Structures are given as structure tokens and as C-alpha cells.
Structure 1
Amino acid sequence: MKLLPLSKEIRRSFSLKLAMPAMAFVCAFAAGASAHAADVASTGQVHILRTQVPEIVSSGGAAVTGALAGSQHLKLALNLPLRNEDELDSVLQQLYDPQSPGYHKYLSVQEFTDRFGPTQQDYDTVVAWAKANGFTVVKTTANRRLVDVEGSVDTINRALHMQLATYHHLSENRNFYAPNREPTVDLGVPLLKITGLTDVNPRVNHLIHGNAQQHANALKHANGSGPSGEYLPSDMRAAYYGSGSLTGAGQTVAIFSYDGYYSSDVALYYSQTGMSSSVPVNNVLVNGYSGVCDAGDGSGTSPCDDGEQVLDIVNVIGMAPGLTQVLFYEGSSATDILNQMATDNTAKVISSSWGGGDFGSADDPIYKQFAAQGQTFLNATGDSGAYNSQTWAAPSLDPNILDVGGTDLNTTGPGGAWSSETGWSGSSGGYYKAAGYSIPAYQKTAGVITTTNKGSTTLRNDPDVSAEANFDNPTVSNGSFETGYGGTSFAAPRWAGLLALANQQSVAAGNGTVGFVNTKLYTLGLGSTYHSLLHDVTSGSNPPQAGSGSGFKAVAGFDLVTGWGSPIGAAFINALTTP
């Protein structure tokens, strides 16, 4: 149950009551603040480039409840910034300009690292600093971007000149830990961010189980091949691609996950639906992750709900049944997982249906590496309507990724063609100012943002595209085949499978993979052939949420419910892959 916003007086009283048991701890914070400032001035310590103290702490929306136990151990990732980023931006522009001699001449991991990664000397300096300050270096990375370390809270506090505290989130009634002030390091090398210093953002997937009425309403016009007309992955391939010959042959798709899954649940999905697959699914466990399906907490004891993980796998394969493989990346840190995907550079399409955790703007260097290497990263936007502080979760709204919203699809029958589509009443859209992302160049072009769609002319707008996400989809969780699921979780892997088909065609034509598609997508959306390439969804809306002001309506052209709409199979692929 979500708590209603508290008045200032009540919040102040509540904060004081929570803080009383830890009053000595709070006083110690205050006493050390001026000494800390003087120490920084005298030693030349520097702040990390990205803010580390969560906004909810700095704004007074959380009450300190004590100190994090000094003996507790945490895993951190020391993030180094890119070099020559202006040059990288120029290279990316050339890579995606069909008129440029550098068009689609993607970089290898080594080429990217040599030109834009931290220097070996800087990287070695950070590793040496970590060891000298009592950390255990767990892993180093091929692109020299991350140094994964482990250490006690006491070690972390001492090395970063701050203290990790526990807090109570006043409006969401939950606890978390975070730094009490911005950390500093006695290091001559700049750091972009240190991930792992807070668990303020819960990890969430974008899958929801509809209630009985939502399920019944969805089934009234569902025409799929599954139970009671629910849609199967094969129905999505028929609706969004058709009967063409592309299967994703030769391509690899990666799936991002904060949790493991049961392979038996994937097998159960196929046995219950009559579908089959010969595509191997290979797991990649990142930075010591166990691979246990346990709600992502790593304990091995929590209930396994792998409905998200199963649907990701089967929907990617359903759209692209001839894939070479699916790589399923599992870990507790988004930054670690994303960086592993970039340094592996095996999967050229990457699908994520998760948010929260340590996703954030510090991942932008990784998204740029994806683009430089011809990789596409897709993200599900969420299922709670127009964004506000509770419904928005990073990486949504990042300008360097493709964001996928949801629709309600009608087909001509089981395995049938696309018939009609409306904006899904639960899908995400709009923009959330606290995300801090300025409007990207591809959305600044005249005709994208209009008075009709009510988009922002200064901030990144969501989503870019969309696909079926209503409560008429099945999945399997913990050994049980279940129906009535929905969410943009379904939409993202469906688009991922379609882009694997596009990569198959593009590579065969000698043009390489499609990579970062946003610029080309918006060009196509504004072109004269738009309605022959994408289904322009012009009805439906996403609902307003508390504090968000209002929801948005699907309108002609780009909108904040469905983006440019859903794909018209072969025609869209042909346009996307033609320079």
C-alpha cells in the first residue's frame, strides 16, 4: 500500500522520532562536517563526478535511523570516465550518417578502449589506490571502465571520507542505506561514480498480473493461439513481421536480468503452448552472481518468481526463431551487467525489462560504447502510466537507448495478421523532469513535438516505439503456467526479436548491424512513407498518477503513449536497413 504524502509538520515530527535512537550518530555527522570540509581543502581530495547522495536524502525526504554496520561487506564498482568524449560524439555521428565514409564501420572493443577508454596508467592508479585502501579487487574490465572491489563498511567510510547511514523513506515507508555526504578520494585520477554505495532504488521488472476484470476485458478482443485467445510469441511474429523468410539466423540477442530463472520453466512454457525452440539459451553470470532464482536478493531463500525472465526468453525467440543463441546476463549490478555486455560484444541486440537498482546516467558511457560497436539497447518503459517519482525508473528516458511502450493489439485470428491497435491504458509515457535528461537531437526535429502530443521541447520524451502489452499474455513462474499477464516487459523483447531480423538482413547486404536506431527511426517517422512502415496508434491513453498532473493521449504521429507505434514487419525492416 502506498502512503499518502505527509504534511511538512507530520514529516518533521516523524523524522525526529525516527532519528532519536540514532541522535548520537546524527551529532557525530554534524561535528565532522566542518572538519571534513577543511580536510578536503588541505589535501586536494576531489568529489566524484556524479552525485552519490540520493536526492531523497538531500531534499529531506528521508530520516536517518543509524549507521550501517561497520563489519558489513559491500561490493562496489569504481567507474572511470571516458576520454575524448567530444571526439566520440563526432565518431558516433559519422557511424550513423549514410553520407559519411564511416557509416556503420563500427569499432571493436579494443579500438573503442584505445581511443576513448581510460588510459592504462589511470586504470592502474585506481587499482593501486583500491588495494592500498584495504579493498579487495574482485574484477578488472577489458575496456578499463570499471574496477570491481569489495570491502567492509568501515573500509569504505575511511577510504571515501564519509559515512554510510541507514535511512527511512518517509513517503514510501521503506528503509535503505546511502552516504551521509558526497564521498571524496585521495586520488589524482577522476572517477565518474562509485556504484554500490546505496540501495535507495528498488530493482523492479515491468511485468504485472492483471486482476480478473482486466483479464476479462483483454480477452474480449484477443485473437491469439493461446488459452482463451491469449497471445503467444508466434502470434506476435505473425502480427508484426508476417510470413517472411527472416529468422534472425546468425544473430545473438542478450537479455538483461537482475534475477535467475529455472530452465524447466522455459521448457514448461513450450510444452503448455505447443511451441518449440532449438535456440540455445546460455547464461552469463556477472561478477560472482549465483544464478539462483530468488527474487534477486542473492540469498537463495526468497521465492522464485521467474515469470519476467521466462517471457523475455520465449518472446525474443518467438520473433526470431532462427537465432544463433540467446545470452541471458544475470547479476546484481546494472552497471556491471551492461559493461560485460559491451566488452563481450557478442550480442548486437540487448533487451531489458527491468529498472531501478543502480541504473543511472553513469551508464551513458556504456550506451555510447554499444552504439560505437553496432549494438542496440532496448528498454521497457514501465506499466504505471504517466511518469512521476514513483512510476519512473531508470534507465527509462535515457537519450542513448530505445524505449519501448505498450499497446493493446487486435489480430485477424490465431496466427493472424495485424488488425488494429490502441494505446495500452497501463503503459508508460510522458517525461519526468527529475530524470535530468535534455531533449536529444533526434527529438528536436520539427514535427516531432507538437501542441497535440504535448511533449516537452526541452526534455527527453518517452517512449520511442511500442508493442502489445495488454493483460492477454501467458508466462510461467516457479513451475506454474499462468495467464492474464501484461506489461511493457512483453513489448521490449518483441522489438528486440524484430531488430534481430533487421540485423540478419542488414548484415547480409553488407551494411553491418543497425546499432543505435533512434536517429533513423525519427527520420522515418517524419518521412512521407511513415504510415507504410509503422502502425500509427492514434487512440488510447496512459493514466495520470498521483502528483503527475495528467496522463497523455495517443495521437497521430509521435505521442507520449506509443511513440511512433508498432512495426509493419518487412517494410519497416527494409527501410531501417537501407542506407
Structure 2
Amino acid sequence: MSKFNRIKALFLSLLVIFVLRGPTQSAPAKAKTRPTTVSVVLKARNQSAMQNYINETVDPSSPFYHKYLTPGEVSDQYGQPTSKVSAFKKYFQKYRLKTAAYPGNFVLKVTGSPNNVNKALKVRPSSKNLKNFTAKTSLPKSLSSQVATVVGIYIPVYKSSSPSKKVIQPQTHIEKTDQPVDAASGKQFAKKYGPLKFADHYGLDKLYRQNLTGQGQRVGLIVLSDFHMSDVQKYLAQNGMNTDTSRIHKIYTTEQATTNQDSVSNIMPQTEATLDVQQAASVAPDANIDAYMGISKDDATQADVLFLNAFSQAISDNHDKQLSTSFNIGNEMNKLIVPGLSETSKQYSDAFNLIFEQAALQGITIFNASGDHGPYNSPSKKQNLTIPTSSYVVQVGGDNITLYANY
């Protein structure tokens, strides 16, 4: 990866971070009948050989240095064989569920009615102990031996007659004391608050003078909200840039869901997604921007699945050699997963580590925003980096931005 691409991708991660803390609270009644999606994460074949090959690709003395694989080659060498994937599809089809394997054969996307999903996975509470309460799933022995975990099942936890109030919902680290700034015009605004200020601080202006502005590159963003293209155009115009947004691509990874896009509950995730796209499009003004959007109408699909599958599709598409996100789920201190979900914190983090290993095999670099506090998701005496934790991700953060633009 060139110095310009590293710096460009690095910038994409220097953004405000969202933390999702559990399933959506009081989802509309429609969500109970709308199709839902869960992910069945499969075990890798030849795990040690896969890790060894990843190490070889970054060793200049190795004959496999920078000899990256395609998703098909990953599947052939390390993913589950096609015969096993077909067996899963055949099983879920009995329950009227659609099953698709992301290229690489590490993650199966299973979609259908919530009732049929629960029947196929034989969902039941694992324990009456609220502290360790999870949604237990099971599959026939011929299939379960290939399964690492199931992500996306949720059984509400009840104390007496009152439902648990622990939920996963978007949260921002924008400080309440932050004050909006008045937008100047054109380059003056860009120099004071926008991409020209960043370019000056990080030496990108030297690259720009060599016409290194992202030509022929694709930058992938993982977002958890839709956004208005007109907002991106306005930002580019405000910075005196080309407002042609045909190079910006929306890719819906679960379903196209724009309902209530501007509702109060959605405004902060939408703002975050918009910021990500605006910054990427302006810092790399000639690169294509692929926004992989993990969203679900009426919250029919849980947030943990939306995040996992957005990454799974971006990695298996293999279009972008750099992926960045400023969204995240939980942190090590709050243990991420609330009671009632079908995966533990470790299982969820392991699932991400697996698909990030696939990214490394394909030569994809992943950047994740750790927030404004470096190794801390939130100020604390103990380190509490957001998860998924993985040695195949560049964690970026530590800036403290006290002013932000209000568009």
C-alpha cells in the first residue's frame, strides 16, 4: 500500500465513534413479522496454515510476499468446502429460509421469518441465571461441527414482569460542550475546518501536487445508517470541490431501508455516516467511495449482524484495498454482549477476527476508529478498547476535536 493510501485510509478512521450496546429497544410490531437475517459463522480449515500464509504475505524475504489471494482461493484453501455449504443450504431450505455464503465460505447469511429462524436453530434460553443468560441454538450434528457461532438471535431477558432495559443503541462521543462553527465559503472553510487543513497537517498537499488524489483507488466505508447524497454534495461545494457524486456508491448489505431516515433516533448515526463519506470523498477527491450500509427496516435484524455482514460483504467483494469504519460495538469493559443474545463477547470478537484474517489474505487493510481517547473507548483507569479486538485491524484514535461543523 502506498504512503498516500495509508495516510488516506488513516484519516478515514480519525472520526467520531459510535458504540452500539445491545439489541434495539421496543422495535415496532412489524419487525416481528418482517424477514430477519442471522449469521452462521463457520470454522476455518487449516487455521494454523492460514495464519502462516498471512505472515508470509508481509515478509519481504518470503516467496509469497504480497502474493494475495482471491476470495475464491481463500474458500478453496481455508473456508468450508462447497459441499458443506450446500448441506447448510439444504437444511435451512426445509424451514423456508434463504441461505447465501459470502465468498470465502466463512459466514452464511440466513434470511427468513423470525419464527422459522427460531425453529431451524432450535432457539431456547440457556439458563435462568440472568448474568449468563444467552439464546442457545443448536443444529444437527452433521452441521454443528463446522459452526463457530450463530450471531443475531435475541431472546428478551425478563426480571419479574419487567423487560430488561439493557439495549444496544447508537451513541456518540461528541461532547455536549462542543460548539458548532459558522460555515465560511469555499477554500477558506476547507483551510479552517475541512480537508485542506488535514492535508496541510499531514503533508498530503505534497502528494496532491504530484496529482496523487486517489485515481484508480476505491475506499470502502462500513456505516450503519443511510445518508443523503445531497448533504455530501453540499459539503463538497462548501469546500470548493467537484460536486459530482457519481463516484460514491451505496451498497446495502442486508436490505434497502430508508424508512424514518430523518427520525430523532436515526439522526446521529446518519450524521456519522454522512461525515465518513464527506471526509473520504474530499481527502481522496478522485477515488471511488463504496459505502457498505448495514441497516434494517423496523430493526428486523439485530445490529450485531448488520455490522458483521457489512464487513463480510465488503471483504468478500474484494473491491476496496482499504476499509474504514468509525462505528463500533461495545468495549472490553462492558463485555459488549447483553444477556439474551446468541453469541458471547469472545465468540463475536472471534467471528470478526476470522473475516479480518480473510481480509489480510486478500491484501485488504482495515482501519477502525477507537475514539478520542486512544486505548480507551471512554475515559477510565483501565484500557477499554472497542471490540472486535484483532491483530489484523489498525486501531486509530486519540484526537480530541472540540469544534465540529454543523451543516
TM over 0.5: yes
Pair 1:193-2:149 in alignment: yes
2:234 is the alignment partner of 1:261:
no
1:381 matches 2:370 = yes
Instruction: Report the TM-score when normalising by structure 2.
Output: 0.69
Aligned to 1:394: 387
Task: Verify the 8 A CA contact 2:220 2:322 in the aligned structure 1.
Answer: yes
Give distance in 1, aligned partners of 2:225 and 2:33. 26
Equivalent AA in structure 2 for residue 398 of structure 1? S
- Per the alignment, residue 240 of structure 2 pairs with 274
Structure 2 equivalent of residue 417 of structure 1: none
**Paired residue for 1:404?**
396
Give the structure 2 partner of residue 145 of structure 1.
106
Q: Say if 2:147 is the partner of 1:183.
A: no
Contact 1:135 1:155 (8 Å CA) reproduced: yes
* Residues 1:331 and 2:294 are matched in the alignment: yes
Alignment match, 2:321: 348
Over 3 Å counting, the alpha-carbon distance change for 1:85 and 1:207 in structure 2 is same
Shift of 1:314: 2.0
- Alpha-carbon offset, residue 292 of structure 1: 5.3
Task: Look up the SS of the partner of 2:371 in the other structure.
Answer: coil
Counterpart Cα distance in 2 of 1:194 and 1:302: 28
Quick one: distance in 1 between partners of 2:112 and 2:195? Answer: 44
The C-alpha deviation readout for 1:334-370, integer Å capped at 9, x for no partner, is 1211111111100111110101289632121110111
1:284 is the counterpart of 2:251: yes
Find 1:76's aligned residue among 30, 38, 58.
Answer: 38
The separation in 1 between residues aligned to 2:134 and 2:313, in whole angstroms, is 30
Provide the residue aligned with 2:163 in structure 1: none
Match of 1:243 in 2: 206
> In the TM superposition, what are the counterparts of 1:70-469 in structure 2 within 5 Å?
74-132=36-94, 134-137=95-98, 139-163=100-124, 180-189=134-143, 190-198=146-154, 202-204=168-170, 208=174, 210-211=176-177, 214-215=178-179, 225-226=188-189, 230-241=192-203, 242-244=205-207, 245=210, 246-278=212-244, 280-291=247-258, 294=261, 303-305=266-268, 306-323=270-287, 325-332=288-295, 333-356=306-329, 360-383=349-372, 385-386=378-379, 393-395=386-388, 397-407=389-399, 424=400
In structure 2, what is the equivalent of residue 40 of structure 1?
none
Measured against aligned partners, the alpha-carbon deviations of 1:438-466 in whole angstroms (never above 9, x if no partner) come to xxxxxxxxxxxxxxxxxxxxxxxxxxxxx
Tell me if structure 1 keeps the 8 A contact 2:89–2:98.
yes
Checking the alignment, whether the CA contact within 8 Å between 1:153 and 1:164 is kept in structure 2 is no
Q: Which has the larger radius of gyration?
A: 1
Gaps of at least 5 residues in structure 1 are 1-54, 57-68, 171-177, 408-423, 425-469, 476-480, 482-579
SS at match of 1:117: coil
Once the two structures are superposed, residues 226-263 of structure 1 have per-residue CA deviations (whole angstroms, 9 ceiling, x without a partner) of: 39x84212210121123222222211001101110001
The SS at the match of 2:250 is strand
Give the Cα–Cα distance (whole angstroms) in 2 for the partners of residues 259 and 473 of structure 1: 20
- The answer (yes or no) to whether the contact 2:213–2:284 under 8 Å persists in 1 is yes
Classify 1:308/1:301 alpha carbon distance in 2 versus 1 (closer, same or farther; 3 Å): closer
Distance 1:293 1:107, change over 3 A: farther
Structure 1 residues 349 and 308, CA gap change in structure 2 (3 angstroms): same
**SS of aligned partner of 2:232:** helix
Shift of 1:144: 2.4
Letter in 1 for 2:248: V
Work out the CA distance in 2 between the residues paired with 1:351 and 1:70: 32
Report the CA distance between 1:206 and its aligned residue: 5.1
Does structure 2 retain, via aligned residues, the 8 Å contact 1:139–1:148?
yes
Residues 155/258 of structure 1: CA separation in 2 closer, same or farther (3 Å cut): same
Runs of 4+ deviating beyond 6 Å? 69-72, 388-391
Question: What letter corresponds to residue 356 of structure 1 in structure 2?
Answer: I
Q: What TM-score comes out, normalization by structure 1 length?
A: 0.50
The alpha-carbon deviation at position 393 of structure 1 amounts to 3.6
Answer whether contact 1:255 1:312 (CA < 8 A) is retained: yes
Alignment partner of 1:308: what SS? helix
Maintained 8 Å contact 1:203/1:356: no
What letter corresponds to residue 371 of structure 2 in structure 1?
A: G
Shift of 1:196: 1.0
* Counterpart amino acid of residue 193 in structure 1: T
Given that 1:92 and 1:372 are in contact with CA atoms closer than 8 Å, whether structure 2 keeps it comes out as yes
Report sequence identity in percent. 22
Q: Distance in 2 between matches of 1:139 and 1:248?
A: 33
3-state DSSP of counterpart to 1:360: helix
Offset at residue 277 of structure 1 (A): 4.8
CA contact (8 A) 1:76 1:148 kept: yes
Shift of 1:116: 0.8
Report the CA distance shift for 1:85/1:371 in structure 2 as closer, same or farther (over 3 A): same
CA-based RMSD of the aligned residues comes to 3.7
Using CA pairs under 8 Å that are at least 6 residues apart, name the structure with larger relative contact order, 1 or 2.
2
Q: Which runs of 5+ in 2 are unaligned?
A: 1-20, 23-30, 156-165, 296-305, 331-336, 338-347
Distance 1:118 1:314 in 2: 38
